[in-house]
Structure 1
């Protein structure tokens, strides 16, 4: 009996451990996306294409289904070139869907300095690492919600990718099933509210944060937007979904009053707090496990502008 109990405990411990996304994995993904070889992932470059293919490979490894057609790569046109968003979905117990998104493009290279690569570790390799981490987390798990993962292209050039993907006819039904979209935007640093916290842009426009915080585990918390005057809610990819009246907010940790790496050459691995990022990914996954279409159905307030 003791032997059986011991084996059960060991098995349970192994299962729990297997659900965790390791710091090593977080470093691996973010370091690849923010490497010098990616040359700043500017839209329309071969390196940007390589980043899209890399993200698609991670989705394939996690056995996600295609959002549309027979590929994770969803093409659109930018300045006469074919470029790609990346989208995968894991079917849950319900057609109701939670979407996790982040843009993977950055601003490329500089010819005027010794360090020529805008690596974009925080902006936004960190956000893409989060959605890949969540796909890792749920690889062997069944959730109540279906889970959609979207890596947008062209955010830096005016949210080109998110604007394109919301207009695809064959994705309209899936998009209307989205109960909420969590858009991760610059989450490599510890927020001004402390470790294991993010802030939500436009928190006054819906009750998403309140409903999420009610179920949040291990003291994970979504804080109110401290930069309301900057109108960040309307300045990232989430707004493309807002215009479709889909609940969509951006989550961030960057201190906009102190950050000296935003669109600068020093936005590289040295500024990333990998312990905090790993903690956020795992606690986010654990919280999502507790959400169901019955206990998590956020709604917009009458303050939001859909135009």
Structure 2
């Protein structure tokens, strides 16, 4: 009887670590990627029916998680000029938030658009970037159940593949003052890596973040490496390669999480079946570990003033 009471008490304790939470959510995590990368969404290209289907699914998950809205809607439309022409196109950013005790905000991003159909073949973008969106939803679920100190804004930008347009639109017309944003955590491609390596890029530009990133301990199937952020690295410098660059241009500290390019990048073979189902949940947990540290130790984050 005493043994049962002890076990019951332990099960009732709040989750202070992330391993239990990640294990509980891994099924939903993988389901979210599978749904978003299905052929029926036709590659989620901005402005298409497939994009609208992805929006509907993500909004449903935001509602299920219980994220709050800005302006009574998760949808924030914007217009932009396309890369191949000067014609105006319309995208739709999706965002919700979890309020914290502080009005300072950590913005967590993962774009949901992809390349659509090319030469008759669907580019499903399972890794790029259904994997980032799946992680964003899992992290939102965790913090809804374990309230953060700082307000966490969860942003799924559109039109990243068209030149980081959604992130740019968000920052040009933010629902909160820009000076309240203390950090951007961006996720773009977390699911395909056979070496168990997830990179955190941005320490070169924000060296104060190294203290926090160094505290992220390896998971059984994934470990965090730092790099891909130095100008001398040329194409291997990821500073400009995803939505975090729009934050960086405005002097907002960032850390970008992603895997190195693989043979399925921007190819019709970037399907759900390619997602490494052991690595990916642990990679998402590494990002969650970092956000927990950033939320707890915000005083160690770089200030915007130091970057101007």
With normalisation by structure 2, the TM-score equals 0.84
- Please say if 1:108 is aligned against 2:109: no
Distance 1:178 1:186 in 2: 24
**Equivalent runs, 1:13-162 vs 2, <5 Å:** 19-20=21-22, 21-66=24-69, 68-78=70-80, 79-80=87-88, 82-112=90-120, 116-162=121-167
- Aligned pair count reads 292
Match in the other structure for 2:300 = 296
- Structure-2 change in CA distance of 1:284 and 1:156 (3 Å): closer
Query: Structure 2 CA distance, aligned partners of 1:265 and 1:104?
Result: 17
- Once structures 1 and 2 are overlaid, which stretch shifts more, 290-299 or 49-58? 290-299
- In structure 2, what is the Cα distance between the partners aligned to 1:8 and 1:46? 50
Report how far residue 278 of structure 1 moved: 0.6
Secondary structure at the counterpart of residue 96 of structure 2:
strand
Q: CA deviation at 1:15?
A: 9.0
Q: Which segment is superposed worse, 50-59 or 278-287? A: 278-287
| Cα separation, 1, equivalents of 2:52 and 2:208 | 33
Give the C-alpha shift of residue 247 in structure 1. 0.9
Q: 1:160 to 1:283 in 2, by over 3 A?
A: closer
Please give the root-mean-square deviation of Cα atoms over the aligned residues, in Å. Answer: 2.7
1:198 to partner: Cα distance: 2.1
Runs in 1 of length 4+ with deviation above 6 angstroms?
13-18
Paired with 2:44 and 2:20, the residues of 1 have a C-alpha distance of 32
Residue 165 in 1 paired to residue 170 in 2? yes
Structure 1-normalised TM-score? 0.85
Q: Superposed, which structure 2 residues align to 1:155-304 within 5 Å?
A: 155-168=160-173, 171-173=175-177, 175-190=178-193, 194-195=195-196, 197-207=197-207, 209-218=209-218, 220-225=223-228, 228-230=233-235, 231-254=237-260, 256=261, 259-291=262-294, 292-299=296-303
Question: What CA distance in whole angstroms lies between the structure 2 residues aligned with 1:147 and 1:14?
Answer: 19
Runs (5+) with no aligned partner, structure 2: 81-86
**What are the ranges of 5 or more consecutive residues in structure 1 without an aligned counterpart?**
none
The 3 A distance-change label for structure 1 pair 143 and 215 is: farther
User: Aligned partners of 1:206 and 1:15: how far apart in 2?
Assistant: 27
Residue-by-residue CA offset, 1:84-132 (whole Å, 9 max, x unaligned)? 10111111121222221111111111344xxx21111111111111111
Going from structure 1 to structure 2, the CA distance change for 1:171 and 1:103 (only over 3 Å counts) comes to same
* SS of equivalent to 1:137: helix
Residue 200 of structure 1 contacts residue 251 of structure 1 at CA under 8 Å; is this kept in 2?
A: yes
Query: Is the 2:229–2:238 contact (alpha carbons within 8 Å) kept by the matching residues of 1?
Result: no
SS in 2 for 1:7: helix
Residue 161 of structure 1: how far off its partner (Å): 0.9
